[in-house]
A = this chain, B = another copy of it.
Amino acid sequence: MATKTSSPCPENKQDWLDCLKASGYRLTSPRRAVVETLANSQRALNATEIYDLAREQYPSLGLVSVYRTLEKLEQLELIQRVHHPDGCQAFIAGFTGHQHLLICQSCGKAEFFEGDNLEMLFERVAQESGYQIQEHWLQFFGFCSKCRTDKD
């Protein structure tokens, strides 16, 4: 029985490299470093965080290449931007299908969940407002089990 929540890490970061390759991009060390860093992360990272983490393995990496790689990964929908009260320039591994984010307010750890059923609400709001509803954003914030334990 499959769980309804899932970690953002993709099964295989090779998929990302394959996808970049298939889209006509070259596989370079800077790109590998960024992919590696993001694909291994349990939480959303911004450009500088990726830069700092990736340089531990690949010190000559330039910040500009991080920005350029993020741009491509986002276009290919391998990653997605995460909006947060503290900022909206962090990225996390994307997931297919209809999923939403659950984010730890303490450590930032993110998971995806699915199974929100908002059809009834869509209809009621559409009725009352006259809007034709096309998209929705839903995001939960809380404390992950680890951070709850640490608080004690």
Tell me the A residues contacting B by CB distance below 8 Å.
3-5, 83, 88, 102, 104-105, 111, 113, 115-118, 121-122, 124-126, 128-145, 148
Contact = CB atoms under 8 A, between A and B. Distances in A.
B131 A140 contact: yes
B83 A125 contact: no
Nearest to A111: B129
Given A88-B88, A136-B140, A137-B138, A131 B111 contact: yes
Contacts of A121: 115-117
B136 A139 contact: yes
A143 B136 contact: no
A132 B151 CA distance: 13
Nearest 9 CB-CB pairings of A with B: A130-B145, A133-B142, A135-B141, A137-B139, A131-B142, A5-B129, A88-B88, A134-B142, A5-B128
Contact of A141 (B83, B102, B129, B136): B136
A70 to B, nearest CB: 16
Give the residue among A4, A131, A137, A143 with the most B Cβ atoms within 10 A. Answer: A131
Nearest to A135: B141
